[in-house]
Chains A and B, each alone.
Chain A
């Protein structure tokens, strides 16, 4: 018991950025245990880089989570592809679909 407590205290006091960044990432998947939470808490108090990383992770998740909105693709598509490229794409896809349907 004492040994375990000591081990946790050492863990909490010696956590460094490589491990802290991992805990920040894992905390997006499942709750951390108590020692991990304390270790991260103290590390974030003293580490500006990891504080920034925490915010960046949140922002990345926010941005990527929005990419299920299909209206976004309508907004950006015309700028990512010229009219000719779009028509060529449509032509190739129509052609392949017809071939597939005909061969059935």
Chain B
């Protein structure tokens, strides 16, 4: 792969190969994070387009896949930023969903017996995890995905989404409670 040719002609030659080798992987990476198939597809398309346009900047010192995932992650963060919301999520009423009047858990939780290394390669678990993440509301999901899946710090997320730290923490807390319940009911019980 030479990175010398800047014309769209060379980009055209690369399209089929790039799409063939990477589209599905990028698609599922995006789908896990944005939840909707059409959105994931659009983001992958944007990513590959951006890659073709900046082909000459691909130094080749990392793998092509790593380079593309890097672009994809930026596109996903851009998407979250475009769809950010300052909505307050701490209206207190949600607590009744998880805790009774005596402020104890409503759910009877079980011990989760699992080896994470094995679990993440289990397709059936993936389907459950995808479905559970889809059920998070947009504001919870954005924050949760950035924090837990992309490993971005609280400070960075607050800046990116223009929300306060308290707002972010409540979003994360609620997302964790909701995901916990969903995973338990659909997988661990």
CA distance in complex: A29, B27 (Å): 30
Distance in Å from the Cβ of A23 to the closest Cβ of chain B?
Answer: 10
**Secondary structure at chain B's binding surface: helix, strand, loop or mixed?**
helix
B189 interface hit (Cβ, 8 Å): no
Q: Give the distance in Å from the alpha carbon of A69 to the alpha carbon of B16 in the complex.
A: 24
Nearest-CB residue, chain A, relative to B176: A25
Residues of chain B with a CB closer than 8 A to A11's CB: none
Contacts of B111 in A (CB 8 A): 52, 55
A-B CB contacts (within 8 Å), total count:
143
| CA–CA, A29 and B104, complex, Å | 23
Jot down 13 A-B pairs with beta carbons below 8 A, ordered by A: A25-B173, A29-B172, A30-B154, A49-B105, A50-B105, A52-B111, A59-B112, A65-B148, A69-B120, A77-B24, A89-B41, A90-B19, A101-B8
| A→B interface (CB under 8 Å) | 16-19, 21-22, 25-26, 28-30, 49-50, 52-53, 55-57, 59-70, 72-77, 79-81, 86, 89-90, 92-94, 96-98, 100-101, 104
